[in-house]
Amino acid sequence: MSEHCEHCDNGEEHVHEHESGPLAELVTLRDWLRYAVTRFNRAGLFFGHGCADAYDEAVWLLLHTLSLPLDRLEPFLDACITADEREALFAVIERRAEERVPAAYLTGEAWLGDFRFHVDERVIVPRSFFAELLENGFAPWIEDADRVDSALDLCTGSGCLAILMAHAFPNADVVGADLSDDALEVAQLNVAEYGLEKQVELVKSDVFDGLAGRRFDLIISNPPYVTADSMETLPAEYLHEPRMALAAGEDGLDVVRRILAEGRTHLNPGGVLAVEVGHNRHIVEAAFPDLPFVWLSSSGGDDMVFLLRAEELPEAQA
């Protein structure tokens, strides 16, 4: 914005332009951080894609836009921002606030622990409790990570969990399977980024349909599990993600049912199946009252991920 006043020391009238607004008034990174946090809070943004609140998300977006280290805010807080940089910061703040685009899509990256992944709107933004469960090789459910020979990440999306599995189980041949060609393209970028082309195989598959005859020591899956009612009330940020990565029928179990029905056929004896289902534990247990689910503990609680051994899964239907 700008305003004009007409005055001059010698009495002659002329126009002076006094610029105002963020681009003119916000000088340091500290200024822009305060502005971004206020802007995000007033816009009522939802934070469910890696950051807990407006402050964390503002820090990430600003540091990334300025090509600064994401873990070193303090040394730069009082640095002056150039005119070009101010325009870039204003643009990214406005897109986040007005369009509700998740920060991961604005930056083109998402993080699970220390692992960075390329993401765009072809894939769901990586977020999974499996990241922390894999940090210790899925212990105690996997007794020896070095003895895992084969592992499957079903509904791999960006390939993030397949890549984490490759690091957790260095001797395993890992498969990342997904129905989406777009997702598999993004996953291939991430697999190549980590130099894992020889260890991680990407397969197009509708649940297990593209994996006939293949068995694994460990299968994990973070499948679509959003119920029809929940899809109707999702925050705007989630609407930027592929619908097929979220929606899973009336009760959110369309994909989970197929995994449970066919999982035993694709596990080695003693193999482990683990599936993330968000807040749907009560729905899962009501639908499958005879299965001895073990619910794994994570930072999100004790009811987000269930585990079953191969022998506990139903026999495949003829």
Nearest to 311 by CA among 283, 292, 285: 292
d(CA 87, CA 44): 23
pLDDT tens for 165-183 read 999 999 999 999 999 999 9
Which has more pLDDT, 48 or 107?
Answer: 107
pLDDT tens for 33-64 read 999 999 999 999 999 898 899 999 999 999 99
pLDDT tens for 185-222 read 999 999 999 999 999 999 999 999 999 999 999 999 99
Query: Is the C-alpha dihedral spanning 258, 263, 266, 272 positive or negative?
Result: positive
**pTM of the predicted structure, to 2 decimals:** 0.90
For the chain, the straight-line distance linking the first and the last C-alpha, in angstroms and rounded, comes to 71
d(CA 190, CA 120): 12
137: amino acid identity, one letter: G
Q: Residue range 5-29: average pLDDT?
A: 64
Q: Residue 316 — pLDDT band, cuts 50, 70, 90?
A: confident
Least confident of 14-28, 94-108, 186-200: 14-28
Q: Residue 96 — pLDDT band, cuts 50, 70, 90?
A: very high
Instruction: Give me the chain's average pLDDT, please.
Output: 92
d(CA 217, CA 215): 7
Q: Residue range 13-40: average pLDDT?
A: 83
Nearest to 292 by CA among 263, 314, 270, 259: 314
Structure tokens at 275: 């599936």
DSSP of 78-145: TPBPPHHHHHHHHHHHHIIIII---HHHHHTEEEETTEEEE--TTSPPP--THHHHTTTTTTTTSS-G
The percent of residues in the chain predicted with pLDDT above 70, rounded, is 93
pLDDT score at 5: 40
Please name the residues in contact with 37: beta carbons below 8 A apart, sequence gap of 6 or more: 54, 55, 58
